Structure 1
Amino acid sequence: GAPAGARSYEPRSLATHTTQTNIRQLFNYFQLTGDKKYLARIPEAIAWLKSCPLPADAATVNPLLGGGRTHPTFVELGTNDGLYMHRYGSNIHNGAYYADKDYTNTISHYSAGRPIDIAGLESTYQSLSRMGDAAIADMVARSPLKSTGATRTLPRYFSIREVDFPDLFTGATMPTPVVPDSEAQALLAELGTKNYWTSAVPEIVNTYRGNGPTAPYTGTAYRSKHVGDVYDTSPYPADNPPEIDPYVKREKPQFIVTSEWIRRMGRLIAYVAPQA
């Protein structure tokens, strides 16, 4: 079939990070079933990933492509060239997204590059493909697809960390992480007498003001920022707003951030009631 964008502004293309995810899923399917058909074409997929890295100077000319990113997010079918997302205008009424092969001035809220772990993919492939019949049979016998109907006790804590694929197999354990005394004491000190933790909220939003202007905006202040003009309610980091009035860079405000609260509570639980 033909490639298609998942979002309205995504180009019709091949996606490097989705390819990596699918390779890892094929590894999982093999471990669940022992069927080597799931490994058969992985070398072709890895070879394709090797064929379309980011240009060597990508991170230098565009910091948004740094941070360990190795590949363009989107690759044009037929040419194998990277496609990069941009936008013009200041809001949805006078602007739009577009894709081309220019890897400078990309949008910031959707990464134009991805970290692809080719070495890791190759290592896992080699490890799985070299398994002997006895090892495969033992692996499949512990697969959740081969459950005999016997009950299995759930871990006492299973939200302290993400449940991972190996956790599904018979005999797997979910030990809590080791939390040093210094970290536990720091968590208590941060709690103080408030009975709650606060954290810097990742992003803030503009107050809704109705539809933005339709008059063309030809500037560049918004093209690589998370938000457009003051009519745009897209979330953006308070310490990295567009460099144009009336935006002012400020520290991220402190809120009760549920994800951070859960993380900290999980660390304390692991400290006071560790599970081996």
Structure 2
Amino acid sequence: MKYFTFFRALPLIVFLFTTTVNAQPDKLAKEAEQAMLRATKYMVEEVSTNGGYVWYYLPDLSRRWGEMEAYKTMIWTQDAGTVGMGHIFLDAYRATGNEYYYQAAEKAAAALIWGQSDAGGWNYMIDFAGDRSLKKWYSTIGKNGWRLEEFQHYYGNDTFDDDVTSNAARFLLRIYLEKLDPKYKPALDKAINFIIKSQYPLGGWPQRYPLKYDFSKKGHPDYSSFYTFNDDVTWENVNFLIQCYLTLGEERFLDPINRGMNFYVISQHGSGGWGQQYNMAMEPTSARTYEPAALLPSTTFGNAMLLLRFYQYTGDLKYLAHVPDAIRWLEKSCLPEQMTENGRYTHPTFIDVASGKPVFVHRTGSNVNYGYYYVDSIDNKLLSHYGGKTIINIERLKEEYNRISALSTEEATKNSPIKAGNFKEEGLPQNFYQLNRGTSFFTELPADTKVKQVIDALDSHHRWLVKHAMVSNPYIGDGENRTLTDEFASVNAGDKTDTSPFRDPSDQLYISTQEYARNMTLLINYLKSAKEKKPLGKKDMVASGK
């Protein structure tokens, strides 16, 4: 009789136990959802410009910055601006089902579509005041950013730099797939066609398109038409087209994907390394005046790792064949011991193509008008905005090569996104794939204390404010100081006429889209994990002996 009573009471015991265990997480999850919505409403309704964003704002919105200072009529395309915010809104919509987030994403998409060029791509920024205002910005603020040479000239075309066009296109793909709303298909198709059309026959992409050649600087030819690896231009375009193939399923994507991957093979230098851009003769060449014609250990490491991935996509041994050459080149290109700064670095940023020796970039002067960059073999007074030394994990590359090359072709390609095969995952491809490369979903539930800390960090206006934002001197006119000083050799900005960004050392607070995205991501991950975490049920209790 006692046993009977105990087991009849067991469901109630289980219910009370699980209710007690899960009451606090449920309460915290509700608080997290409320905090997310309050913070988002502030960003959407108080901060955004026609649905778009820059990176930092003064709390009174009197000044704002993307990678450089922006007019009040401007938004930034590149992360962590409009595209990054749009991705976060869709992440929040997926996690909560709240239509407000989807509507916020739609506003971001509308802003991007407004700023999409006739050709189909995007520039770094969008100005709702139009071309007249944008030209004024380039001739004043942009022109005087000493270290940001990509902003010193008005091209009037689109860029692949910093994942600008490919990530904007990815966001349009994602919002189209979310509800298959046909209103996004024309802009998406336009962007896809732009990326395909701009690819060179050999498989690489230029930095900007349609091609322009009208900005030579200090004896350097206009680099924007060169084959470009820098900032993952080629890889991000290949990756986006693979995402299109997975979710849209059109065979037309396979040729540009394969040519893009093959470009990594044909561009490898005979020594085993890669440059970050190549001229039309397929020679490593210079770009910005602080980017000499050179081979780069960081580019070589990244490209070699991608070759391993391409082998897993295709099973074609050509992608494995010359990875050992890259490894040998990296091993012999290490810094001399006396240049490693007690083991802090392993390699120089740049290695001379002909001699195989390190080269280092420096600058002298006070501003863009009367300052310049130069190259030598001396490793002091290096640039702060473009590191002269780096760290390369050669052992990691070796381990990956050994692991993947030991697999059979069938084993290596079993998860290939371009290999013929039926879809075996849950649901449909349109909703299965995570297209936001910026989102990192935790495998474990974020700590309650951290979640509470993020919630409590919202101020009375529902803002996450930060110190030490990247800001700049206001535009006051072109530089006039002709002194060739080393005072600004290793800092981010020159004299007061330099509009390049630098980190504000004061305690001034700023609205930050990056901080918003970081905190939203943590709360989204918490909600996602909390919903997937199953309460301890009857069978679990009995089996565990509790």
Scaled by the length of structure 2, the TM-score of the pair is: 0.42
**Contact kept? 1:160, 1:263, Cα under 8 Å:** no
Spell out, residue by residue over 1:33-71, the C-alpha distance to the aligned partner (whole angstroms, 9 max, x if none).
12222111111111111111123233549xxxx8x4321
Indicate yes or no: 2:325 matched with 1:11.
no
Residue 225 (structure 1) aligns with: 491
2: distance between equivalents of 1:19 and 1:104?
A: 24
Q: CA deviation at 1:140?
A: 2.1
Q: 2:348 aligns with which of 65, 72, 86?
A: 72
2: distance between equivalents of 1:200 and 1:124?
A: 40
Aligned amino acid, residue 125 of structure 1: Y
Matches within 5 A, 1:1-276: 1-60=282-341, 68-132=344-408, 136-148=409-421, 150=423, 151-152=428-429, 154-155=431-432, 159=436, 161-162=438-439, 177-215=444-482, 217-239=483-505, 250-251=506-507, 253-274=508-529
Aligned amino acid, residue 515 of structure 2: E
**Contact kept? 2:442, 2:525, Cα under 8 Å:** no
1: distance between equivalents of 2:500 and 2:311?
A: 41
Spell out, residue by residue over 1:6-54, the C-alpha distance to the aligned partner (whole angstroms, 9 max, x if none).
3233111111111111101101101111222211111111111111112
2: distance between equivalents of 1:201 and 1:176?
A: 31
Q: CA deviation at 1:176?
A: 5.5
Q: Say what the alpha-carbon RMSD is for the aligned residues.
A: 2.4
**Contact kept? 1:160, 1:176, Cα under 8 Å:** no
Q: CA deviation at 1:89?
A: 0.4
2: distance between equivalents of 1:145 and 1:2?
A: 30
2: distance between equivalents of 1:202 and 1:155?
A: 36
Partner SS state of residue 24, structure 1: helix
Cα pair distance change 1:212/1:60, threshold 3 Å? same
1: distance between equivalents of 2:283 and 2:364?
A: 28
Cα pair distance change 1:34/1:40, threshold 3 Å? same
Aligned amino acid, residue 95 of structure 1: G
**Contact kept? 1:201, 1:257, Cα under 8 Å:** no
Q: Which stretch has the larger CA shift, 5-14 or 218-227?
A: 5-14
Consecutive unaligned residues in structure 1, runs of 5 or more: 164-173, 240-249
2: distance between equivalents of 1:161 and 1:33?
A: 26
Partner SS state of residue 259, structure 1: helix
Partner SS state of residue 413, structure 2: helix
Identical aligned residues as a percent: 30
Aligned amino acid, residue 235 of structure 1: P
Q: CA deviation at 1:219?
A: 2.7
Aligned amino acid, residue 509 of structure 2: Q
**Contact kept? 1:160, 1:267, Cα under 8 Å:** no
Residue 244 (structure 1) aligns with: none
Partner SS state of residue 470, structure 2: coil
Partner SS state of residue 256, structure 1: strand
Aligned amino acid, residue 461 of structure 2: K
Cα pair distance change 1:5/1:123, threshold 3 Å? same
2: distance between equivalents of 1:268 and 1:5?
A: 43
Consecutive unaligned residues in structure 2, runs of 5 or more: 1-281, 533-546
Q: CA deviation at 1:80?
A: 1.1
2: distance between equivalents of 1:11 and 1:219?
A: 22
2: distance between equivalents of 1:192 and 1:198?
A: 8
Aligned amino acid, residue 413 of structure 2: V
Residue 167 (structure 1) aligns with: none
Aligned amino acid, residue 122 of structure 1: K
2: distance between equivalents of 1:175 and 1:228?
A: 41
